[in-house]
Structure 1
């Protein structure tokens, strides 16, 4: 079965036109004039892959992404990574195991993807200051308008019972003209005239002030506490059923949010200083400095989130001083006896997380400590402890791979015998 999967790509005619169509780049050999359509149908152009093909791909991608990546482009990258991983892992293990591993990576990448969309809610038009983030802002704004249009009028139907109840009871006093149109007000109209003064006072007190206030309070509390309650239930309480890759990236995001609050506050201060002090007072020397700091911080924040998104989609981990260590305090080390735990994390095996520099001074020697940022390609590490841990884990994964291959061969042989029995 594995041989058939390896021979399957050979059935595809891979030429320059196929590769350009895959990347969505216009083929320079195609004719736009309709008079040549019959000629191209009779004699289709087929060009061999060469260095010119790479040049065309590079120029086409550079022209397409000169304004940066949009939400659709990031989604396509996640899907492309997942498909490639699925094919590779299916050849390495089996289809079922590959599907599970890819689903774990997609879920972890989805956490970073939704966090990336939150950047638009935090910064909004500030991202337009950088050309690379312009496309991201345009697509995020279009998506926001589309979602608002879908929600408009949706609360008047039975598609969402909660929104329907809010529209019927809580928002009853916000109708055009100030009329109370809801089922409860219809019942109060049947009250006798002698009791109308007391009942109307009770009605307007409850449905005019108490219910809207309670709904607003409960909605704010739900928005604040629902994410952390979901995290506690899935990651902390039911951690036995949650893969380590998801728990690691989810906890990393919660830990990173503490640092993000400082970054967002700094950006807000720079924004106010730029538009309320520097620009009105015509401080031409300070304006490029403040603008450069603002654009640099926004771009660095966006790149870091995309960096984490790519690692999560590929099933990998990365080391960031202070944040990674605090995140791993809550979830523990990565299990090395599981093929679903993702890539390597060499910093968990090595306690030397600082680099020591000896600086000679006048009377003595000074020691300077810097955090160790490089832990080898894909977090494999380079020390003796890292090599031993990686060797043991590689042995375990090799045994599991051989077991999967033997089971796959048995199922394939059984399938062949079943077909032979039919004939």
Structure 2
């Protein structure tokens, strides 16, 4: 068994990296230590790099299609990792999960229809709703037993006959919740009763920590499968977001046809050669690398948890059940987010995500990315402790 080195520091500066080379634009300071953009500082797995290199030896990069082996890799991965049996005929494409989400909104609703969003949540959800001229209905999550949960009483009070869609973040970003089967069954029952279709962003579905299990929404029942769109990708899991290749799983044939018609209009259904190869290779050979990477991430989280308890006791950390994105509560410092972000950048020289961007419930919170060598995480935390101490 090969042992992977996640402590290796690889400079990303000068590679047009959004996380590193856009620091001055976003933070006004090119010297901040960036733990914000949701990609990792770990080397992309060697088996993916080798597959890409092998393809570059053929020096023609014309139009290509996705082979049967690509679909089989997805089918096998879903069976292996999530105990979910899917069919090739359910699988479609999107250049990214947010793109797929937006196409789904446009396909399964009309302008001025209502779309439910559950903040604090991944902020592109807001852009997708507003940008397609739909009306956003906020159903904020509640904190119960130190984790987020759905607020059905609030949801019941806000929907109307114009409510067409609910956007689900599963697992949840930024809180790191892995929704339980019971939680998802209650939500899907509610949506079926009220004829609300669910668009489920499951991009973090492979980044699940021990003791938790991801439930693909469409695996709950045939009825639920016919009332949802599932969006997935290996991009977060294997650090290949730059290949712009995501998958869309729609079990109901008529819904799939409608979606593919929408994405085909913009001629965005083709994808690219290297994205296809990277996705197939990741799902074919990625189990052991992922196992080791998740173990490293969990130890990073434990380091963060212990550090904040001893050096940043006013900061409360929401314990993640999934993802390398950790939700940190700075509310005891009494700063609004604009001031909190400015203080963090100016005094700690650390670039984190502004909790306010995640919507209602995000004020006073910051999101940190622990998908990096532990030495980088330690350096960032030391800076934060010095500034806030």
TM-score by length of 2: 0.20
Q: Which has the larger helix fraction?
A: 1
Q: Which has the larger strand fraction?
A: 2
Structure possessing the higher relative contact order (Cα contacts under 8 Å, 6 or more residues apart):
2
Asked which structure has the greater CA Rg, the reply is: 1
TM-score by length of 1: 0.19
